[in-house]
Amino acid sequence: MALERKEVEHVALLARLELSEEELTRFHRQLDNILGYVEKLNEADTSGVEPLAHAAASGNVFREDEVKPSLERAEALAQAPDSDGWFFRVPRIIDMGGEL
C-alpha cells in the first residue's frame, strides 16, 4: 500500500478520532483505495489548463457592515454540553498561548 499505517494514525489523531486496531486496518485499506482512485486524475493531460484555485464559479459576494442582533446568551450557551450561565465550560487546557 502506498499509504503508510502511521499516516492513518496521524490523520486520526488530528481529527480527534480514537480508532481500534481493526478500524485502523480497515480505514487504512479504504483510504489507500480512495487515494489510488484520485491518483488516476494525475494521468489526465492538464498542460495549458489554468490551475483552479476554487470550485465556486462566481465570487465577490459581500454583506454590508451592519450589526444584526446576536443570540440571547442563554440560547447560545444552551447549544453546548457545559456552561455556567455566563461562559462555555471546557476541560482545563494546560497548553497555553492559543494559536493566533
Partner 1 sequence: MAEYEAVIGLEVHVQLNTKSKLFCGCSTAFGAEANTQTCPVCLGLPGVLPVLNRAAFEKSVRAALALDCEIAPFTKFDRKNYYYPDLPKNYQISQYDLPLSRNGRLAFEVAGHEKSVRIRRAHLEEDAGKLLHEDPRGSGRSLVDLNRTGTPLLEIVTEPDLSSAEEAVAYLMALKQLLKYVDVSDCEMQEGSMRCEPNVSVRPKGAKELGVKTEIKNLNSFRNVAAAIEYEIERHIKLLEAGQRVRQETMLWDADRGATAPMRSKEEAQDYRYFPEPDLPPFTMTAEETGRLRATLPELPAARRARFETALGLDAYSAGVLTAERPVADWYESVLSAGAPAPEAAKWVINDCLREREDRKLDFADFPVKPAELAALIGLVEKKTINPTIARQKLLPAMFETKRGAAELVKELGLAQVTDAGAISAAVEAAIAKNPKALADYRGGKAEAVMFLVGQVMRETKGKANAGAVRELLEKRLAELK
Question: If binding is defined by CB under 8 A, does position 19 make contact with partner 1?
Answer: no
- Say if CB 5 and CB 28 are below 8 A apart: yes
57 belongs to the binding site for partner 1 (CB under 8 A): yes
Residue 54 near residue 62 (C-beta atoms within 8 A): no
The reply on whether position 71 binds partner 1 by CB under 8 A is: yes
Please report how many Cα atoms fall inside a 13 Å half-sphere around the Cα of residue 36, on the Cβ side.
9
User: Per CB under 8 A, which region of 18-26, 30-38, 40-48, 79-87 contacts partner 1?
Assistant: 79-87
Check: CB of residue 15 under 8 Å from CB of residue 45.
no
Q: Which stretch binds partner 1 (CB under 8 A): 17-25, 30-38, 40-48, 92-100?
A: 92-100
CA distance linking residue 78 with residue 32, whole number of Å: 40
Please report, as ranges, the residues that interact with partner 1 according to CB under 8 A.
10, 13-14, 16, 53-71, 73, 76-77, 79, 82, 84, 86-100
